């Protein structure tokens, strides 16, 4: 039932037609009789400020932010959480007393899924992150912030890996290094967890794989943040090698659940969010 007490949430971005977030949130709220409504808010860049001003005067308690506004939104915020500041982008906004406060839950979303599904303790592990784009940035900065033992960033464009690695070391724990993505062999023996953040293997080019899977062994945990397909070539091959594997659905669900916690200071209905997403993906 939507009424005057309904708390509004939304996803700000453009385009939004392929986003799973509105359905994931709304279905889970409905199942739990929670009086929240999550709206897709597709906005042209020139209108962001006006939209945010309007939202402040409505029943909105928060927003998610997606492509292409994760950096742009920062210009309009009253406060930015220290981790989001280090990452340099915002995917979650809390609205309180007409103030906009920015957070980034992308890296935390991945970390929560590793902790919950594979009992990973970040401080005890050495991470190899494939890719140095936006997702890699959130993940590397979050892992360093939470005390990762060691992080190596491997990328095709080595300069991007270098500058991200230097930034992680400057702003957070000095635990980060970088390599060319073709030189993984040199670091794989000192790696516990491999996280693919490149788009290699994503639909429709599902035959692509970001690394030589012959280098993997059963002691590696391989996490691919891609969720379409649900099992990428990297994960299929890693599983054959006896590795524990995780796909990107956990990150997707947990970044949303962490955002909900920030907006409401309550736990999110994570199990239902997961179920909705699984059903949606099966239908695709």
Q: Enumerate the active-site residues.
A: 70
Sketch the per residue contact string, 164 through 203, with ligand NAP: x for CB under 6 A, - otherwise. ---------------------------------xxxx-x-
Task: Extract the tokens encoding 215.
Answer: 């280098």
Least CB distance to ligand NAP at residue 224 (A): 9
Give bridge partners of residue 79 from the DSSP assignment: 101
Binding status of residue 88 toward ligand NAP by CB under 6 A? no
Give bridge partners of residue 193 from the DSSP assignment: 127, 221
Task: Extract the tokens encoding 36.
Answer: 């929240």
Task: Extract the tokens encoding 245.
Answer: 């594997």
Binding status of residue 64 toward ligand NAP by CB under 6 A? no
Least CB distance to ligand NAP at residue 281 (A): 12
Contacting residue, 157, 182, 186, 278, with ligand NAP by CB under 6 A: 157
Give me the long-range contacts of 77-86 (CB less than 8 A, separation at least 24): 77/101, 77/102, 83/107, 83/108, 83/141, 83/142, 83/145, 86/141, 86/145, 86/171, 86/172
Of residues 11 and 55, the one with the C-beta less far from ligand NAP? 11
Sketch the per residue contact string, 204 through 243, with ligand NAP: x for CB under 6 A, - otherwise. ---------------------xxx----------------
Of residues 24 and 216, the one with the C-beta less far from ligand NAP? 24
Sketch the per residue contact string, 17 through 56, with ligand NAP: x for CB under 6 A, - otherwise. ----------------------------------------
Binding status of residue 251 toward ligand NAP by CB under 6 A? yes
What Cα–Cα distance (Å) separates residue 177 from each residue in 85, 149, 161, 168, 254?
21, 12, 8, 9, 27
Sketch the per residue contact string, 123 through 152, with ligand NAP: x for CB under 6 A, - otherwise. --------xxxxxx----------------
Of residues 66 and 191, the one with the C-beta less far from ligand NAP? 66
Q: How many residues bind ligand NAP (CB under 6 A)?
A: 23
The CB-nearest residue to ligand NAP is 133
Give bridge partners of residue 58 from the DSSP assignment: none
Least CB distance to ligand NAP at residue 201 (A): 8
Contacting residues toward ligand NAP, per CB under 6 A: 106, 131-136, 155-157, 160, 197-200, 202, 225-227, 248, 251-252, 255
């Amino acid at each position: 039932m939507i009424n005057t007490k309904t708390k509004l949430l939304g996803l700000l971005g453009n385009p939004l037609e392929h986003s799973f977030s509105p359905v994931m949130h709304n279905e889970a709220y409905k199942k739990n009789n929670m009086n929240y409504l999550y709206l897709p808010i597709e906005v042209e860049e020139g209108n962001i400020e006006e939209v945010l001003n309007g939202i402040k005067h409505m029943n909105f308690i928060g927003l998610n932010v997606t492509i292409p506004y994760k950096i742009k939104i920062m210009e309009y915020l009253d406060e930015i959480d220290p981790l989001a500041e280090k990452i340099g982008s915002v995917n979650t906004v809390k609205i309180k007393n007409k103030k906009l406060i920015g957070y980034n839950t992308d890296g935390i979303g991945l970390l929560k899924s590793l902790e919950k599904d594979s009992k990973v303790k970040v401080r005890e592990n050495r991470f190899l992150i494939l890719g140095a784009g936006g997702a890699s940035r959130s993940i590397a900065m979050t892992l360093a912030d939470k005390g990762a033992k060691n992080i190596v960033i491997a990328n095709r464009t080595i300069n991007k890996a270098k500058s991200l690695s230097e930034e992680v070391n400057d702003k957070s724990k000095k635990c980060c290094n970088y390599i060319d993505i073709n030189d993984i062999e040199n670091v794989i023996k000192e790696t516990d967890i491999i996280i693919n953040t490149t788009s290699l293997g994503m639909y429709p080019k599902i035959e692509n794989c970001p690394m030589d899977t012959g280098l993997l062994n059963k002691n590696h945990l391989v996490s691919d943040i891609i969720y379409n397909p649900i099992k990428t070539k990297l994960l299929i091959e890693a599983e054959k090698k006896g590795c524990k594997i995780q796909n990107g659905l956990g990150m997707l669900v947990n970044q949303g659940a962490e955002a909900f916690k920030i907006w409401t200071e309550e736990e999110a209905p994570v199990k239902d969010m997961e179920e909705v997403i699984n059903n949606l993906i099966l239908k695709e």
